[in-house]
Amino acid sequence: MDMSTPPRTIGIIGFGEVGGIFGRGLRDKPGVEAVHAWDLKFAGDSGIPVRMAAQSHGIHAEDSMAALCASATLLVSAVTASNTLAVAEEAARYVRPGAVFLDLNSASPGTKQRAAQVLEVAGAKYVEAGVMTSVPPYGIRVPMLLGGPHAAALANKLQGWGMDAKAISEKLGIASAIKMSRSIMIKGLEALVVESYTNARRYGVEAHVLPTLKETFPQIDWEAQGAYFFSRVVQHGKRRAEEMRESANTVREGGFAPLMASAIAEKQDWVAALARDGVFDGIADKAPWQAYADRLIAHAQLDH
């Protein structure tokens, strides 16, 4: 793709929450003739509602990676962390020479470097992205750090579309190292809140614990933050656990034992498994954190 002109066709790989937001958000940008998407959920009769939902937003639902890559001059990968490399390898089989591959996935520097290698061999221009906060509140304007030799040129294009994209380094892995280091802290806080708050409520001491947190960190609304953290882990714990395993890989690649990152992944995965089992079914949107904690306490008592 010639970086001096906008991409004519955008291909979204993975049409989940993030992929859907980017697909819909880029559809009407200047110079974009079409947005196509491919997701495993599109396959078969069960995929008809998902394909129709995409098409209702003017997005062409493709039936394979090959079909998606055939026309796309800018590919945007928005899959789960554990699928980052596999998707890059599959795309490399079909990608058009000169196409740009923007990798939004939360993966370690080593994973991003391996993904870049297979795509560059196929003639694509790989750009890693570190998406620095939750996408839904921002949409396509979510802050992103881009890395790699093609990052600056792509950042200019995305900025022209009103996106908050900043080229941070020509070296691949730097943007991901920033993202993964931050994730240890943010996802770690989520895991700590789930464990601390639930434990405090189990012993009936939350009215004593939360005020001490407010005293130490008065800028944080610990009640509201607790509710938000619980809800995000319940809704997206599986994806967060995969991200934390990639954070653990990042720590390991740096030569350290990922003791904290690995524990955070286990905690996120544990909550996600309970969510799949229906433990949190029926809890209303914007429910207080106590609603989630009470379900965890009840589940623990059933186990005993």
Residue 6 has a pLDDT of 55
Which of 165, 97, 94 lies closest to 129 in space, CA to CA?
165
Which of 64, 62, 49 lies closest to 23 in space, CA to CA?
62
**Looking at the domain assignment, is residue 138 inside a domain?**
yes
Residue 71 has a pLDDT of 87
Beta strands, E only, 14-124? 34-38, 59-61, 74-77, 100-103
Q: Assess whether 158 and 181 both reside in one domain.
A: no
Q: Assess whether 59 and 166 both reside in one domain.
A: yes
**Looking at the domain assignment, is residue 1 inside a domain?**
no
Query: Model confidence over 184-218: pLDDT tens digits?
Result: 999 999 999 999 999 999 999 999 999 999 999 99
Residue 5 has a pLDDT of 57
Tokens 């600056």 map to which residue?
152
Structure tokens at 45: 């009769």
What's CA 86's distance to the chain center, in Å? 16
Here the CATH number for the domain that contains residue 222 is: 1.10.1040.10
CA dist., res. 277 & res. 74, Å (int):
38
**Looking at the domain assignment, is residue 2 inside a domain?**
no
Residue 4 has a pLDDT of 54
Which of 86, 83, 130, 72 lies closest to 104 in space, CA to CA?
130
Structural domains counted in the chain: 2
Q: Assess whether 149 and 206 both reside in one domain.
A: no
Helix axis angle, 289-303 relative to 259-276, nearest 10°? 80
Domain coverage including residue 201:
176-303
Query: Model confidence over 249-279: pLDDT tens digits?
Result: 999 999 999 999 999 999 999 999 999 999 9
Q: Can you list the residues of the chain whose pLDDT is less than 70?
A: 1-7, 304
Tokens 């995965």 map to which residue?
269
Q: Assess whether 155 and 188 both reside in one domain.
A: no
